[in-house]
Amino acid sequence: MSPAARFRGLPLRSRLALLVAVAVAVAVAAVAAVCWVMVRAQLRDQLDRSLMATNASAEVLRTLREGCVNRPAAEPTQEIAGNLNATVQIVTADGTHCWVSGLPTLPVTAADTEVAAGERSRTLHDATTTDGVEMRVYTMSVRANPGGPVFAISIAKPLADIDKPLSTLAWVLLLVSGIGVVGAGAAGLWVARTGLRPVDELTGAVEHIARTEDLTVRIPDEGEDEIARLSRSFNSMTAALASSRDRQAQLIADAGHELRTPLTSLRTNIELLARSEDTGRAIPPEDRRELLASVKAQMTELAALIGDLQELSRPDALADGPLEVVALHEVAQSALSRARLRGPELSFTSDLAPWYVRGEAAALERAVVNVLDNAVKFSPAGGAVEVSLRAGELTVRDHGPGIPADDLPHVFERFWRSPSARALPGSGLGLSIVARTVQRAGGSAELRAARGGGPGTEAVLRIPGAPAPPPDLAEGRP
């Protein structure tokens, strides 16, 4: 397994702690390296200035040169060497040298001979003695007296003077960096655990819901950070799921209750017919016709109820078809033709002005038919139903007993039926389908008491649109 795959396999808090530790380690290492380099540069610069500040008077230099010429190299002038407090040697242009003070094994480089020959005035460089001692060497050209010969004097000090402090500093920086990295890792782990506690609660809630299907679980959502927003979103999601499940359960319970009545009636009538066949006792023709008519009516009611349930169970995305421009006045006229067949004893008057909306023709017609069916159902014999369409407001008025004011807020609820309508056929889903269809078309539905104080109820469907079709439809283009 690759390191990247192993890293992705770690828990999130471990990855965060590791990333924090690595980031701090890189930062501390960079700071420590810069600090060490700057201190080293400062110390070397101080050493160079110290070497360049080491000077001697002309008398001292002449004495040194005469000492090298007239004395053996092994016998330096100790009092002068002690005053210089450094390794000193004199270098001539031919490369010969005379040890004056300090280590006698200081090598002569090409740069030193160039200074002794007068080709350059000074030089700074590192050198290693034959004993392995690292030295910092400053060589300068001098004259013992004006007009005298040029020679070079090399002054050197061991680099150990700065290497020891640098080594100590390196160990201190390494120790501090290690403590910092360990502390950063611990702090990162603590921060990860603290910061991810809401995520742990969210994970626990999700696992609990998956295990128990308990949608009442809620997560604390204090604050305005991303975790709080995630918690609020999760709580909203579980609340919506709980509401959806409750509505589903209520729908199933209501549907079962509504289905029980026609099924019970069907079963009773079919059992009577079957018992007649089994016992050989014929049912009077008139009673048999009534039984068959009842069976047919119950089957029709059952089929309509199942159709209504299918319509309400479909989400908006799976509705009958795509939205299109629909002539609402033509839809209302078609629905009126169907309503006249269902209420031949009623008189229908209509005033339908042209109005074009965007929706589904079949669904809109079904919604208008449902509203007209209600008007037919509650109209007295010989009554009148008035239909008008003005500026996108379709109004259907009957002259029946009306709906009590306390019942008006509930008329669009699924399976809700007023006490006065429970003896009449129907499932209580018609107006729910009306409200859903109209809302999908961008409108609204309302039931209200008839205006003017007369008897009856007005159903009002408001759907946005225009009194003329779009130009492309008016010109016959697709």
Of the chain, the percentage scoring pLDDT greater than 70 comes to 77
DSSP 262-304: HHHHHHHHHHHHHHHHHH--PPPHHHHHHHHHHHHHHHHHHHH
Contact call for residues 332 and 393 (beta carbons, < 8 A)? no
pLDDT greater than 50 at residue 79: no
SS3 state of residue 26: helix
pLDDT digits (tens, 9 = 90+) for 130-161: 778 888 888 888 776 666 677 888 888 888 87
Where are any strands of DSSP class E within 68-214? 87-91, 97-101, 122-128, 134-143, 150-158
The maximal CA–CA distance of the chain, rounded, in angstroms, is: 162
Distance CA 439, CA 103 (A): 103
* pLDDT, mean of residues 66-76: 48
Q: Which of the four pLDDT bands, split at 50, 70 and 90, describes residue 389?
A: very high
Q: What is the structure's pLDDT at 74?
A: 42
Contact call for residues 361 and 326 (beta carbons, < 8 A)? yes
Dihedral through CA 403, CA 406, CA 409, CA 414, nearest 10? -70
* pLDDT, mean of residues 436-445: 87
Q: What is the structure's pLDDT at 462?
A: 92
pLDDT greater than 90 at residue 291: no
Contact call for residues 115 and 99 (beta carbons, < 8 A)? no
208: left (phi over 0), alpha (psi -120 to 50) or beta: alpha
pLDDT digits (tens, 9 = 90+) for 421-440: 544 555 556 777 788 888 88
Taking Cα atoms as reference points, which of 411, 433, 432, 289 lies closest to residue 366? 433
Contact call for residues 335 and 369 (beta carbons, < 8 A)? yes
Distance CA 253, CA 131 (A): 102
Mean pLDDT score across all residues of the chain: 77
Distance CA 436, CA 412 (A): 9
Q: Which of the four pLDDT bands, split at 50, 70 and 90, describes residue 318?
A: very low
Q: What is the structure's pLDDT at 325?
A: 87
Distance CA 445, CA 428 (A): 16
Distance CA 39, CA 356 (A): 85
Q: What is the structure's pLDDT at 395?
A: 92
Q: What is the structure's pLDDT at 461?
A: 92
Structure tokens that stand for 103 in this block: 């280590």
* pLDDT, mean of residues 75-89: 55
Least confident range of 67-81, 188-202, 208-222, 317-331: 67-81
pLDDT greater than 50 at residue 59: no
b vs e for 364-395, b when ≥16 Cβ sit within 10 Å of the residue's Cβ? bbbbbbbbbbbbbbbbeeebebbbebeebebb
pLDDT digits (tens, 9 = 90+) for 233-266: 888 888 888 887 877 776 677 667 667 767 887 8
pLDDT digits (tens, 9 = 90+) for 392-422: 899 999 888 877 777 777 677 765 555 555 4
Element (H, E) at 208: helix 197-212
Q: What is the structure's pLDDT at 224?
A: 75
21: left (phi over 0), alpha (psi -120 to 50) or beta: alpha
Structure tokens that stand for 96 in this block: 């010969």
